[in-house]
A and B are shown apart, each in its own frame.
Chain A
Amino acid sequence: MHTKKNDYTFVIKPKTALLDINLAEIWRYRDLVLLLVRRDFVSFYKQTILGPIWFLVQPLLTTFMYMLIFGNIAKLSTDGIPQILFYLAGVTCWSYFAECLTKTSETFTANAAIFGKVYFPRLIIPISIIISCMIRLAIQVSLFFIVLAYYLIFTKEGVHITWAAALFPVLIIMMGLLGLGLGIIFSSLTTKYRDLRFLLAFGVQLLMFATPVVYPLSMTSEKYRWIIAANPFTSIIETFRFAFLGSGEFNLSYFMYSLVFTLVLLAIGVVVFNKVEKSFMDTV
């Protein structure tokens, strides 16, 4: 075997190009992604009796609470959809996004101990978080589908599945990437400026009310609708409801806006993340 004198495979330099993700390297660490996902999943229900059932308790209780407060006390419209379905759809999507966002936003601060000792592509952590959340989502979505199936088969309520259900995988990926993009921007900035952590904590709560989670977009007045529609998550959740409940409508321009917004945000996130991951150990 002959190797040339200056045949170096790895080079460590102070600064690198703006967008320098080594996809091949991330792929080489795919086993780590799976093991981290497994760790998150297994450690979540170790020493519990109900185990993964806990994944269902949270959306169910939240849904019942929303039915009581927004549905029956505040009497907000649900576009003629059974309340449980309407809120369950909103809660499932929103909690997936919120979890992706808050968990990835802690990437650097929560893993400083590991990052300080071993190198692996730092993006592995947020990627594994998104996949962990997706498993959780899968469990929660099946709950939604069971409730949906009940209404479709046993009742004559105005619920129907539309063609947009084919967009389901796209919607899931968009929600995840939106959470990821925003999350890694936050995680990159919080390494130096911890203030953002506090902003994020209640920001997520406030953002939920700027998103049609507990109310339909059709209920907002024409005058303020653009504010709600400017939120990229709005069209995702509206499309989700349109797809499975047949409520509201599918607006292509809103949807394309969300898609572009997600991709741009993700690109910015990766660039910022890339820049920070080189030296965050010095400031964290």
Chain B
Amino acid sequence: MSDSAIKVEGVSKLYRLGEIGTGTISHDLNRWWHRVRGKEDPYAILGEENKRDTKGSDWVWAIQDINFDVKKGEVLGIIGKNGAGKSTLLKVLSRVTSPTKGIVKSSGRIASLLEVGTGFHPELTGRENIFLNGAILGMTKTDIKRNFDEIVDFSGVERYIDTPVKRYSSGMYVRLAFAVAAYLEPEILIVDEVLAVGDAEFQKKCLGRMKDVSVNDGRTVLFVSHNMAAVRQLCTSAIVLKNGKLVFEGTQNEGVNYYQSSHNTNSEYIHDGNIEDALGNDNIRLLRFEVKPATGNVISVSSGFEIDIEFFNAKENINLDVTVEMKNTDEIVVFHTGTVISDDRSSKRGIYRVKTAVPVNDINAGVYKFKIIFGESQRYVLYAMEDVIQFEIMNEASGSNSSILPGIMRLQVPFETTFLK
């Protein structure tokens, strides 16, 4: 039977939204007064579940009542959407901030890697920074000296080791920084998405090193990532967080599947109830906007996806048209396409349904959102709505490369190869 390395019991963290500073003295005094009388924090009661899109109290539970147990030598993947509380949990575990409630017990030292290159000083040389950064991460001078050659070797910046790091290229900087972190030797290692650095070759090297740490050295690793392929590859178990709560606990494959199937919840807008209350105006009421995988349960680069829209049109006898516009998170328009619903002034008052599909392997993995525009005679806007829905296209390995390829498009075009000479 293996012992547990970290035991998390009922950990919660309350955050205050809005501006900190104004009115805090009175709040502080009020809290202090409640504490003196042995009562519960008056503001903690107001704390709400962490949902970013609904407005409510100023106090929010970033994580709420988290319980889990990690065995020694296990690699636990922590997955969840942005804002699900992953970072807060890591901050609590790495002692950057203390929990509002609950307790964490660990056997052995925890080192956290929430960022690479913490404390690097631009004026100091690579050599000096290896020692400084190593010490900040909790290594002693002797530890660093022992691993120094390997660190330099791993980073591949040997030639510049006595040059101030301000002269480094950003790639060299990051490689050096990760190299230091790669040789940390704690019993428990917490890694945030620091793997998203460097070129593909270096990323592979980092993943390899992480695997090495857990498999060969038998250390416990807590790994937070959005890269599901990396979670499947590296982890032995996984937990899924949603709105600050732990919603799933199991093996890494179960966790990833659970996350991917539950993840696309806001990839749909469905209105039920009175038509008058739906999104829209007197001309148009949007009743449904859904994005669904064309095959399988998950929208991925190889599943293709369908767009399914239902709306109520109030204007009779006009030339009605509808356009959808898809943007990525950098606000770059991926496509802007639409269809004419009626071109001979024949629109009817009532509910229409419009469907289309985007072919397999056209668009790369990533998060995208849709804008919808209803127009008259392709000239006047009847109603337009930004960011109606947001959804994610999951990555899938292409050949032996499991990381997300660059580019907005992910075309699979036939190549023709001829040997010439």
Contact = CB atoms under 8 A, between A and B. Distances in A.
B91 A281 contact: yes
Choose among A15, A35, A279 the residue with the greatest number of B CB atoms under 10 Å from its CB. Answer: A35
A14 interface: yes
A35 B142 CA distance: 13
B114 A279 contact: no
Contacts of A114: 118-119, 136
B307 interface: no
B110 A32 contact: no
5 contacts: A8-B107, A12-B105, A35-B135, A35-B141, A117-B96
Nearest to A111: B119
B94 A118 contact: yes
B66 interface: no
Nearest to A36: B132
Contacts of A155: none
A10 B105 contact: yes
Interface in B125-153: 128, 131-132, 135-141
Contacts of B114: 116-118
Nearest to B122: A43
B208 interface: no
Contacts of A43: 121, 123-124
Interface in A11-25: 11-15
Contacts of A9: 106-109
Contacts of B92: 12
A9 to B, nearest CB: 5
B97 A281 contact: yes
A117 B96 CA distance: 7
A16 to B, nearest CB: 8
B164 A120 contact: no
B239 to A, nearest CB: 18
A54 interface: no
A39 B121 contact: yes
B99 A281 contact: no
Nearest to B117: A117
Interface in B65-116: 91-110, 112, 114-115
B121 A281 contact: no
Contacts of A205: none
Interface in B6-53: 7, 15-16, 20-21, 24-25
Contact of B3 (A5, A42, A192, A282): A5
Contacts of B100: 14
Interface residues of B, number: 48
Give the top 8 A-B pairs by smallest Cβ distance, nearest first: A8-B105, A119-B95, A32-B135, A12-B104, A278-B98, A281-B97, A31-B141, A43-B123
A267 B170 CA distance: 44
Q: Dominant SS at the A interface?
A: loop
Contacts of A194: 21
B238 to A, nearest CB: 22
Contacts of B106: 8-12
Contact of B118 (A29, A117, A193): A117
A46 B167 CA distance: 14
B118 A35 contact: no
Contacts of A46: 123, 164
B94 A39 contact: no
B119 A10 contact: no
Interface residues of A, number: 41
Contacts of B119: 114, 118
B137 A39 contact: no
B325 to A, nearest CB: 37
A7 interface: yes
A221 interface: no
B105 A117 contact: no
A12 B98 contact: yes
A43 B102 CA distance: 42
B129 to A, nearest CB: 9
A253 interface: no
Contact of A7 (B91, B94, B107, B141): B107
A14 B136 contact: no
Interface string A192-210: 1110000000000000000
A3 B5 CA distance: 11
Contacts of A3: 3, 107
A283 interface: yes
Contact of A39 (B91, B128, B164): B128
Contacts of B98: 12-15, 278-279
Contacts of A55: none
A116 B141 CA distance: 23
A46 B122 CA distance: 11
A147 B4 CA distance: 65
Contacts of B97: 278-279, 281-282
Contacts of A13: 98-99, 103-104
Interface in A30-59: 31-32, 34-36, 38-39, 42-43, 46-47
